[in-house]
Amino acid sequence: MLEIEQKKDNGKIVLKLKGEASIENAEKIHKSFLQFINNNETLLLDLDEVEKVDISFLQILAALCKTLNEKKGEILFLTSLPKPLEEALIISGYFRYKHCIFDHGKSCWINEMIRSTEGG
């Protein structure tokens, strides 16, 4: 099960995911992100209560990153790297990337999250 809450924080929209960010909920996640990117340029994500992550969620995040980059937007994370997301990044091989694969001159969300677990 997955809940997606939307709230405002200092005039920006925050999406908070609670539960399983997995293939079973991929369509719900995708629709939520699509609705958001049609109206905003920066996505604030709170993943603190995510309990499970699989490759489908990583693929959706990567596609979202690419779309936001094309719209001159970005993804900002409000929490440090949750353990389930860290494990999915390791298992999937996403950790091997040192630079953003979209080469847009901005820091990569994957690398930002990795650095947050390493303490800087």
The residue-averaged pLDDT of 100-104 equals: 53
- Higher pLDDT pick, 103 / 37: 37
Compute the C-alpha angle 85/79/34, nearest 5°: 70
Given pLDDT bands bounded at 50, 70 and 90, which one contains residue 23? Answer: very high
Model pTM? Answer: 0.78
49-59 per-position pLDDT tens digit: 999 999 999 88
Distance CA 91, CA 29 (A): 21
Domain boundaries, the chain: 2-118
Mean per-residue pLDDT over the chain, rounded = 80
CB atoms within 10 A of CB 86: 17
Among 22-26, 29-33, 67-71, name the most confident range. Answer: 22-26
For the domain bounded by 2-118, which CATH number is listed?
Answer: 3.30.750.24
